[in-house]
Amino acid sequence: MSWLDILWHPVWAVSTALLAVVVRLQRRGHWDPRACETQLRGKTAIVTGANTGIGKFIALDFARRGARVILACRSEARGTAALKEIREKTGNSDVHLHLVDLSSLKSVREFAKRILEEEKALHILVNNAGVSGLPRKITNDGFEISFATNHLGPFHLTNLLLDLMKSSAPARIVTLSSVNHKKGQVDFSHFKGENLTYFMDTVYNHTKLHNIICTNELACRLNGTGVTANSVHPGIVVTEVLRHYPFSMRCLFNLIGFFFFKSPEEGAVSSIYCAVAEETEGITGKYFDSDCSLVLPAPLARDAALAVKDFEICERLTSKL
């Protein structure tokens, strides 16, 4: 037997396949949404970026539980397709599509205005939508586009819907951050697109840090209102977030992802856990890992003084225009 024969021996093939399966299974969370019996009949939920990936699976889960679900999407075509799919799969016709472009404060305000006019209550808000790998661009509001979309837009939206949520309490706000926040930095000039390096996920990492910081401050401000606010890490998921990366990079990520990343459905689990599980009732100002365990975020994300400052700056930036 030559060394090549040994290398190609079926034992290797079988053990590699087994290893891959074990690694894949390990990526699954410990909490199973299908085993959770929470019903959401009579409850209203908003999921941003619900037309694809994780957001679509979160919306699908809420619709299965009987909630009135509003899909907040940017693209009408893709949103309509998701709406049709979710209605068909769940038999829940109380699912609706409202368009919103989170990178535009004007669009966020119009969306929020419509919600406040049309909805009597709001029990769940999932800030899922996010972008990664966008090239540098300044929005009409004067903000860097990834910051506008991933942080300032959802921040503003949440604040505009707070009174409705308080009057609907108990209510839950879930914001999708990422383990990437650990590599993020806080530099307030970033909001305006200054001092930023555009290398792969650098900007994304910063925005995900701001997500946790402001969610924690929001939780403090909401103390005693019955509205909770938490951040989650969905896991490393190959989703549409990658759509702005070069084709070669997407292929590579997809290949690696097949074995080592979560599927969008698995990526939705920690958010669903945070939004509907009995176990998370009343928990606020916390950060959940992708396996649904409570973990500590990076030190910067736990700095209370920084959080007060960040929240105030974001309030000022979003209130002006």
150 near ligand NAG, judged by CB under 6 A = no
Q: Does 227 bind ligand NAG (CB under 6 A)?
A: no
Q: Does 16 bind ligand NAG (CB under 6 A)?
A: no
133 binds ligand NAG (CB under 6 A): no
Where does this chain touch ligand NAG (CB under 6 A) — which range of 89-97, 162-170, 196-204, 295-303? 196-204
User: What is the contact mask toward ligand NAG in residues 71 to 100, using x (rule: CB under 6 A)?
Assistant: ------------------------------
Which of 80, 107, 167, 202: binder of ligand NAG (CB under 6 A)?
202
Look at strands 227-232 and 171-176 and give their pairing: parallel
Q: Does 201 bind ligand NAG (CB under 6 A)?
A: yes
Q: Is 199 in the site for ligand NAG (CB under 6 A)?
A: yes
Check residue 285 for interaction with ligand NAG (CB under 6 A).
yes
CB atoms within 10 A of CB 133: 19
Following CA atoms 277, 278, 279, 280 in sequence, which dihedral angle do they give, to the nearest 10 degrees?
70
C-alpha distances (whole Å) from 107 to each of 2, 149, 154 are 67, 11, 11
C-beta of 83 vs 179, nearer to ligand NAG: 179
The residue nearest ligand NAG at its CB is 189
DSSP 55-98: HHHHHHHHHHTT-EEEEEES-HHHHHHHHHHHHHHH----EEEE
204 noted as active-site residue? yes
DSSP 3-state assignment of 258?
helix
Amino acid at 190: H
**Binds ligand NAG (CB under 6 A): choice among 183, 250, 302, 309:** 183
Nearest to 201 by CA among 131, 288, 290, 297: 131
Interface segment toward ligand NAG; rule CB under 6 A; list 9-17, 48-56, 163-171, 179-187: 179-187
Nearer to ligand NAG, 90 or 149 (CB): 149
231 binds ligand NAG (CB under 6 A): no
Rounded CA separation 106/110 (Å)? 6
Distance CA 290, CA 270 (A): 5
Tell me which of 122, 161, 179, 213 binds ligand NAG, using CB under 6 A: 179
User: Is residue 193 a contact residue for ligand NAG (CB under 6 A)?
Assistant: no
Residues belonging to the chain = 321
Among residues 32 and 194, whose Cβ is nearest to ligand NAG? 194
Strand arrangement, sheet containing 171-176 = 95-99, 68-73, 44-48, 124-127, 171-176, 227-232, 287-288, 294-295
The set of residues, in sequence order, having a beta carbon less than 8 Å from that of 233 and lying 6+ positions away, is 177, 178, 179, 270, 287, 288, 289, 290
Shortest Å, Cβ 215 to ligand NAG: 11
Residues found near ligand NAG in the complex (CB under 6 A): 179-180, 182-183, 187, 189, 194-195, 199-202, 205, 219-220, 223, 284-285
Instruction: Tell me the catalytic residues.
Output: 204
